[in-house]
Each structure stands twice: as C-alpha cells, then as structure tokens.
Amino acid sequence: QVYETHARFALQAGDLSEYNQCQSQLTRLYGEGIAGCHLEFSAYNLLCVMLHSNNKRDLLSSMASLSKEARLDETVKHALAVHSAVSSGNYVMFFKLYKKAPGLNSCLMDLYVERMRFEAIKCMSKSYRPTVPVRYVTRVLGFTRVDVLCEANVADGLEECEEWLKAHGAVLTVDENSGELQIDTKVSSASLYMPEPDNAVSHGDASLAVDDFLARAS
C-alpha cells in the first residue's frame, strides 16, 4: 500500500523516475503473490513503457505478460487503446482517450501530450489547405473538455490553443468574412518548431546546479 500510494503521488507530480522505482518494487511484490491493485498498475506500466520508452522489447514483454483478467480491465483496455492511437498516429483518438482516461492514466498521457500535439499540427499543416480554423484545432487537440462546453471553457481553450500555436511557430490569420482565427497551413508547414523546455539547461540535467556539474566534470 505504501509503494502504491507513493507511485500514485509520483504520477500526479509527473516524476517518472520516482514512479519507476516504485513500479519495480510493486512488480516484485505482486510476483510474490502479495495482494494489491495489480490491474491498475499493469495499465500504468503499459502506458509508461509505450509512451516514455523506446525499448520495443520491454513493450512487447509487458503486453505479452498481461493475463486474461488484465485484458478485460477497463484501465488496461484504455492503455491498449492509447497504444493503438499512438502507434498509428491517430491524434484524434488519442485526445478522445485523454479526455476520458480512467484512474491516473491521464497523468502519464499528460507527459506525452506536447509531443502528440506537435505531431498533429505538423500533420494538419500538410493536409489542410489553405487554412484550418483554430476553433477546430482547439477541440481536436484537447484544449477544451468535452464534458464542460460552456462559453467560458471554450474561450479559455481557444486562448490557450492560440498561445500554444504561436509558441510553436504557427502563422495565424483572421478570415476576412467570418472574422474567425485561422492557421495559414502553407506558411506554417515551414515555420513550425518544438521550443526548448523552460527548465532546459545546456548540460542536460535541470536538477544539477552548474557548480555541482563543473565539480563532477573536473
């Protein structure tokens, strides 16, 4: 129970390193037959491996080790559906699954949202001509919640989406007839980029002070 609780807190904080340490211990404990929420953590482990690891062998091993009981669990079924969406590049399905994620699946998906949105907007900029409405992009890329479609929620989502698009190099225009904000897809296809994280550092470890880095390097 301590490891499970700690792991959940780590997921909510977006701390994959801490979560993985807990998951390693939980895998051992479940293997010893100790009762726990093994189905819930089977789903988390699947998502963690498929979204945040390039090791296909680990992914295949995790999927092959799922029991019949696990495959019928809603949290695990959701994780497998996410895998299908990611592997096929289906960003529409990914964000539909993101909005209705059970348990803490959304916490692991949170860490992949930025990458999926960027891949999606690159795809849109090549597929749509000459423009695509920002309102449509806001809805498809999960900037508004499906269950709260009030005017204030939609406005907040539009504003957040507009800021995100500008931060990633999208070129926005206003339709002369409708006054609706649009993405100029032709121009944007050549100007999109992934910005550096706010906490990025040149030596690659944001948690390591420069003085500590220089001391270790010497």
Domain stop point among 88, 116, 144: 116
- Claim to verify: residue 112 and residue 133 sit in the same structural domain: no
| Residue 2: its H or E element | helix 2-12
Residue 27 located in a structural domain? yes
In the chain, the percentage of residues whose pLDDT exceeds 70 is 85
Q: So what's the pLDDT on residue 53?
A: 77
Q: So what's the pLDDT on residue 153?
A: 58
Domain stop point among 90, 116, 142: 116
Residue 146 located in a structural domain? yes
- Claim to verify: residue 99 and residue 189 sit in the same structural domain: no
Q: Report yes or no: 75 and 66 within 8 Å, Cβ to Cβ.
A: no
Residue 215 located in a structural domain? no
Q: So what's the pLDDT on residue 67?
A: 85
- Claim to verify: residue 49 and residue 3 sit in the same structural domain: yes
- Claim to verify: residue 84 and residue 7 sit in the same structural domain: yes
Residue 25 located in a structural domain? yes
Query: Any idea what DSSP says for residue 174?
Result: E
Query: Any idea what DSSP says for residue 192?
Result: -
DSSP strand pairing (131-133 vs 181-184)? antiparallel
Q: Which CATH number is 70's domain given?
A: 1.25.40.990
- Claim to verify: residue 178 and residue 101 sit in the same structural domain: no
- Claim to verify: residue 94 and residue 134 sit in the same structural domain: no
- Claim to verify: residue 100 and residue 142 sit in the same structural domain: no
| Phi, psi dihedral angles at 205 (to 5 degrees) | -130, 100
Six token digits for residue 55: 């090791």
- Claim to verify: residue 2 and residue 48 sit in the same structural domain: yes
What is the span of the domain harbouring residue 136?
Answer: 128-196
How many domains does the chain contain in total?
2
pTM: 0.81
Residue 87 located in a structural domain? yes
Q: So what's the pLDDT on residue 212?
A: 55
What length is written for the chain? 218
pLDDT averaged per 10 residues, the chain (length 218): 96 93 94 92 91 78 85 93 93 94 93 94 94 94 68 76 96 92 95 81 52 53
Residue 140 located in a structural domain? yes
- Claim to verify: residue 30 and residue 75 sit in the same structural domain: yes
- Claim to verify: residue 67 and residue 169 sit in the same structural domain: no
